[in-house]
Amino acid sequence: MTTYLAIFICLPPICAILALVGTFNNEILHWLHRITATIFGLAMVKLAMDFDPTQPFYNDYFYIDALSLWVMIIITTLYVAASWTAKSYLSREEKCGVLKGEQLQTGRYFALMQLFCWTMFLVLIVNNLGLMWVAIEATTLISALLISYKFTKSALEATWKYVMVCTVGICLALLGTLIMYYAQIQAMGSANALDWVYLKQHANALNPSLTKLAMLFLLVGYGTKAGMAPMHSWLPDAYAEAPSLTSGMLSGALCTCAIYVLLRNLVILLPTAGAELMSSMMVFFALLTVAIAVPFVVVQRDVKRILAYSSMENIGIMLAGVSVFTAFSLKAVMLHMYSHAMIKFVLFFMAGTIIQEYGTRNMMRIHGMLIDVPQTATFWLTGMLGILGLPPFGLFFSKFNILTAMFKSGHYIAGSLLVVLLVGVLIGILYHGMRMLSDKAKSRKPIGDLLQPIDILVLVLLLLATVVVGVGFENFGWLNHLLSQAVMIIGG
């Protein structure tokens, strides 16, 4: 395990330093980016094969169990996918005049992306809740530089909103963490301060009044980072203005990281705060998040902003699944995390490609994709069907299971409202997406399909992974065992 940790902790920063200080041309930078992510990915595969989900790794600073390993697998997959599709995407951005060659030549993008993935991994492997807060704040600082990478007026405005809103949220999360620390001192003394394992073992000793207060601040604080309403206002602007690879990582990886941190804290608070209060709060925020997303999806015109509001919908679904607190619903949430991350990365990559091909983000000006750009249209249609939760994609099974769990647990009104809201999102996305595909070309003709063979391979693998994991995870003994152990960690 020490070897794996050395790779995870040292490799991305070394690559980032080489990208910044080295006098490499773009070709070498791309291969450095790819090789680093590939070595990282191979190490993760080997770790997953060697790891026993029933035997967590634990020392003074680091902790890896089934839950953290599952999220590490998700983020590693996107990390590798983003590195192998970066060359073709960034080259097209340069040809379209969106990016300048000097911006890539400095290695700034490659360094920032490596550091962004690195900070997310630190979130997943640290044992101390205070250090976890520091790591999640570090993701904000690095991702802000990626959002503003194009350095346009709108990108800078989106970055400013992202930093301001997320800083408020992360300060609320810090306040919740401090309240939890005070509860720990009051009940157990200052030894092992904010140590997650220690707190979990003694969670019943915490003051219920303090844990309930901490839960409110932590839920709103880390929920802000995930894009939960009412602190979601940064999300549409940031996703729309960032480079599409960054948008895919923000939606698929960073959102998953924020949900993970929230779960880690809720595990400590659950015994004394009570499942009923926690469930009520999470159901409220889940329905509010999806409800706010629905009208914006219906009236949306920006091809990337509609995906941002779709992310809010899926955040709400995951919160609703966690609120039920049954093994059935929690396993569905774990599967939803994976499928949402894979499909949303595909969709943001395709949205960036569509913008490059048509020279506009306005969906009302994009028509006839099936005829003019059949490859792009195929992946766009497949991704839309996947994110809407239609079979055989993994989101169909996870959404169905989450809704089933809500009705089984007695959340009849909340479950019914969620179904109605999901229908609204489905109608909005299908309307805009199918019109883009089927109408005849009008004001704009695309320059043609721009997908490269490596892009097609990566996108196909990501989409197939959601089908395989969603349909047949129970047939893979190791995977089913890993998810079962992750569920036990969350639900006790």
Let me know if 247 is exposed, middle or buried by CB neighbors in 10 A (0-12, 13-18, 19+): buried
Q: Does residue 268 sit within a domain?
A: no
Give residue-wise pLDDT tens across range 76-102.
999 999 999 999 998 888 887 676 666
- pLDDT at res. 106: 74
Compute the mean pLDDT over every residue in the chain, rounded to the nearest whole number.
Answer: 91
Q: From 313, 302, 117, 160, select the one nearest 228 (Cα to Cα).
A: 313
pLDDT at residue 269 tops 70: yes
- pLDDT category of residue 293 using cuts at 50, 70 and 90: very high
Report the 10 Å Cβ neighbour count for 355.
21
Is 25:112 a contact under the CB 8 Å cutoff? Answer: no
| CA pseudo-torsion sign 45, 47, 50, 53 | negative
- pLDDT at res. 441: 61
- Using DSSP's 3-state secondary structure scheme, residue 274 falls into coil
Q: CA-CA distance, 338 to 395, in Å (whole number)?
A: 9
Q: From 180, 163, 174, 319, select the one nearest 255 (Cα to Cα).
A: 319
Q: Where is average pLDDT lowest: 44-53, 188-197, 345-354?
A: 188-197
pLDDT at residue 442 tops 90: no
Q: Does residue 362 sit within a domain?
A: yes
Is 96:33 a contact under the CB 8 Å cutoff? Answer: no
Query: Which residues in 25-57 are b (16+ Cβ under 10 Å) and which e?
Result: ebeebbebbbebbeebbebbeebbeebebeebb
Q: Does residue 411 sit within a domain?
A: yes
Q: Does residue 384 sit within a domain?
A: yes
- pLDDT at res. 96: 76
pLDDT at residue 492 tops 60: no
Residues 6+ apart with CB under 8 A from 173: 133, 136, 217, 218, 221, 222, 224, 225
Number of domains in the chain: 1
- pLDDT at res. 102: 61
Give residue-wise pLDDT tens across range 471-490.
777 777 888 899 999 999 98
Q: CA-CA distance, 206 to 202, in Å (whole number)?
A: 8
User: Token match 């983003």: residue?
Assistant: 82
Q: Does residue 483 sit within a domain?
A: yes
- Using DSSP's 3-state secondary structure scheme, residue 128 falls into strand
Give residue-wise pLDDT tens across range 97-135.
676 666 676 788 899 999 999 999 999 999 999 999 999
Is 341:252 a contact under the CB 8 Å cutoff? Answer: yes
Give residue-wise pLDDT tens across range 152-166.
899 899 999 999 999
Q: Where is average pLDDT lowest: 271-285, 352-366, 468-482?
A: 468-482
Q: What stretch of H or E contains 297?
A: helix 275-299
CA 282 to chain CA centroid, nearest Å:
18
Q: CA-CA distance, 355 to 335, in Å (whole number)?
A: 30
H helices, E strands: number in the chain:
21, 2
Report the 10 Å Cβ neighbour count for 387.
26
pLDDT higher at 250 or 22: 250
- pLDDT category of residue 191 using cuts at 50, 70 and 90: confident
- What are φ and ψ of residue 63, in 5° steps? -150, 125
Per-residue DSSP letter, 250: I
Tokens of residue 312, six digits: 């809010």
- pLDDT at res. 105: 67
Give start and end residues of each alpha helix (H) in 189-207.
Answer: 196-201
Q: CA-CA distance, 310 to 322, in Å (whole number)?
A: 19
User: Token match 């047939």: residue?
Assistant: 475
pLDDT at residue 369 tops 80: yes
Straight-line distance from the first to the last Cα atom of the chain, in angstroms, rounded to the nearest whole number: 25
pLDDT above 70: percentage of residues in the chain: 97
Amino acid type, 191: A
Is 134:17 a contact under the CB 8 Å cutoff? Answer: no
- pLDDT category of residue 404 using cuts at 50, 70 and 90: very high
Per-residue DSSP letter, 474: G
User: Token match 């890539």: residue?
Assistant: 104
**What's the rounded mean pLDDT across residues 439-466?**
85
Q: CA-CA distance, 131 to 111, in Å (whole number)?
A: 23
Identify the domain containing residue 278 by its residue range: 274-492
Q: Where is average pLDDT lowest: 139-143, 266-270, 287-291, 441-445?
A: 441-445
Amino acid type, 83: S
Is omega for the bond preceding 453 within 30 degrees of 0, making it cis? Answer: no
Q: CA-CA distance, 13 to 427, in Å (whole number)?
A: 44
- pLDDT at res. 312: 94
Q: Does residue 401 sit within a domain?
A: yes
Q: Does residue 77 sit within a domain?
A: no
- pLDDT at res. 25: 84
- pLDDT category of residue 324 using cuts at 50, 70 and 90: very high
Residues 6+ apart with CB under 8 A from 487: 327, 330, 331, 334
Q: Does residue 300 sit within a domain?
A: yes
